[in-house]
């Protein structure tokens, strides 16, 4: 029979799991979730999961240890109180947008700080990120801006052809009238 794990061993395993998750995350956002009901947290967790992320609630000391192990600057003064870690594994911004949507509708959670890749972002920078259009919209805008000059070029070239046809048509009408 296996002997039960000690509290220290359980914490060590949690930190190791956090280290691996943080390594593979494209962005990592921290938010104060105080004020959300269990149902709202479950709904937010599901929305973030469908956006390619993960919503974790873990002790701040364990999060701090995992961040230090990943050689990430840790603003200790902001990692206090009830803190949720939102990890983005696919799209860096979509889970952040989910938090912002929840804040608009419910009033909670509020951003504390984040990491985009390895870059530390403050609360204001995270708010700005949350206001960016979705990846699909940004891609459509890029494609539209790339196509625009080509479309204009085609119009200019076809205008010359239209003018030539118009001149030939006028000349034909004039020749027929004689």
Q: Using a pLDDT cut of 70, give the percent of the chain over it.
A: 98
| Predicted confidence (pLDDT) per residue in 94-128, tens digit | 899 988 988 888 888 889 999 998 898 988 888 88
DSSP annotation string for the chain:
-PPPPPHHHHHHHHHHHHHHHHHH-SEEEEEE-TT--HHHHHHHHHHHHHTTEEEEE--HHHHHHHHHHTT----GGGS-SSEEEEEESS-SSHHHHHHHHHHHHHS--EEEEEEETTEEE-HHHHHHHHTSPPHHHHHHHHHHHHHHHHHHHHHHHHHHHHHHHHHHHHHHHHHHH-
- CATH architecture of the region 7-132: 2-Layer Sandwich (3.30)
pTM for the full predicted model = 0.73
Per residue in 29-67, pLDDT tens?
Answer: 999 988 888 999 999 999 999 989 999 999 999 999 999
Confidence of residue 70 (pLDDT cuts 50, 70, 90): very high
């Amino acid at each position: 029979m296996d002997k039960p794990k000690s509290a220290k061993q359980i914490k060590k395993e949690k930190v190791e799991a956090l280290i691996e998750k943080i390594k593979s995350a494209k962005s990592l956002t921290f938010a104060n979730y105080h004020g959300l009901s269990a149902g709202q947290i479950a709904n937010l967790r599901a929305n973030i999961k469908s956006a390619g992320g993960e919503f974790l609630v873990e002790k701040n000391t364990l999060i701090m240890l995992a961040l230090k192990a990943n050689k990430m600057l840790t603003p200790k003064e902001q990692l206090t109180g009830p803190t949720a870690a939102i990890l983005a594994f696919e799209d860096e911004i979509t889970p952040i947008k989910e938090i912002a949507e929840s804040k608009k509708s419910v009033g909670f959670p509020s951003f504390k700080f984040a990491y985009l890749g390895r870059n530390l972002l403050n609360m204001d920078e995270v708010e700005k990120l949350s206001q960016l259009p979705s990846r699909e919209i940004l891609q459509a805008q890029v494609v539209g801006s790339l196509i625009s000059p080509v479309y204009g070029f085609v119009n200019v070239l076809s205008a010359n052809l239209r003018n030539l046809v118009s001149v030939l048509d006028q000349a034909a009408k004039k020749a027929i009238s004689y």
